[in-house]
């Protein structure tokens, strides 16, 4: 950073909170590296907005080739749909149809696609109810699979019939089945690339 750039930064006491400062060059370098790795592997890259929750950063990520965004709750999806995102994955299983009303209304208004997650029959029923109330919304349903953490999702140590029954419920409700969704969150603490690769292989074996 040269001296002119340094003096353009506000003093700490002048910053209104919350205040975010990021290194744009470093961010874009990492996005480019991730996108290149995904392209070499022949897969699409969908990033979660939870590290930044910034419309500006989401737009910049999309410019680098990322495919849609992931959000944690409907209200985040609402903000990002209004902000121009047109492919939203809600990462937490749905349990209440009413929580989706505004998001699906916005999705229909802005022609955005929303992928919702279910891990129980109750969740599928809630999504079906929400879809009936907003039939012109582009909605798909993914089944959440819990690979290790045993927090949310269908446990892989149980009988595969659970996933099959959920897929059948999605079909019976005339909903579009999207895919299986997994999250190997324990990879954050793996410590090195070899350990991460081992977790990824185990994740693939379980699924």
Q: If you search the block for the tokens 């022609």, which residue do you land on?
A: 111
Q: In this predicted structure, what is the pLDDT of residue 21?
A: 78
Which structure tokens are listed for 163? 């996933």
Residue 15 has pLDDT above 90, yes or no: no
User: Mean pLDDT in the chain?
Assistant: 87
User: Which residue do the tokens 């998001």 mark?
Assistant: 103
**Residue position matching structure tokens 């410019």:** 63
Distance CA 60, CA 163 (A): 36
Nearest to 81 by CA among 58, 50, 52: 58
pLDDT digits (tens, 9 = 90+) for 44-96: 889 899 888 999 999 998 888 888 999 999 999 999 999 999 999 999 899 99
Higher pLDDT: 188 or 150? It is 188
Each residue of 160-206: pLDDT tens digit?
677 788 899 999 999 999 988 887 777 777 888 898 888 888 877 77
The CA-atom distances, in angstroms, between 30 and each of 43, 58, 190 are 17, 14, 19
Dihedral pair phi/psi, residue 91, rounded to 5°:
-80, -10
Please count the CA atoms within 13 angstroms of the CA of 16 that sit on its side-chain side.
Answer: 0
User: What is the Cα–Cα distance from 56 to 80, expressed in whole angstroms?
Assistant: 10
Three-state secondary structure call for residue 171: helix
Task: Output phi, psi for 2, to 5 deg.
Answer: -80, 175
Show the beta-strand stretches assigned E in 23-169. Answer: 47-48, 69-71, 87-90, 113-118, 138-146, 154-155
Whether the pTM exceeds 0.75: the reply is: yes
């Amino acid at each position: 950073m040269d001296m002119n750039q340094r003096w353009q930064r506000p003093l700490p006491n002048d910053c209104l909170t919350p205040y975010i400062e990021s290194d744009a060059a470093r961010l874009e370098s990492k996005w480019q590296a991730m996108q290149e790795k995904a392209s070499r592997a022949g897969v699409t890259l969908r990033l979660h907005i939870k590290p930044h929750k910034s419309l500006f950063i989401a737009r910049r990520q999309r410019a680098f080739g990322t495919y849609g965004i992931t959000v944690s709750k409907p209200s985040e999806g609402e903000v990002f749909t209004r902000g121009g995102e047109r492919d939203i994955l809600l990462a937490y299983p749905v349990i209440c149809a009413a929580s989706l009303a505004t998001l699906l209304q916005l999705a229909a208004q802005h022609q955005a696609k929303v992928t919702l997650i279910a891990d129980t029959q109750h969740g599928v029923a809630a999504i079906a109810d929400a879809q009936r109330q907003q039939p012109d919304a582009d909605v798909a349903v993914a089944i959440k699979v819990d690979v290790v953490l045993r927090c949310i999702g269908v446990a892989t140590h149980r009988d595969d019939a659970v996933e099959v029954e959920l897929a059948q419920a999605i079909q019976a409700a005339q909903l579009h089945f999207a895919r299986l969704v997994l999250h190997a969150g324990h990879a954050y603490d793996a410590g090195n690339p070899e350990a991460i690769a081992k977790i990824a292989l185990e994740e693939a074996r379980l699924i």
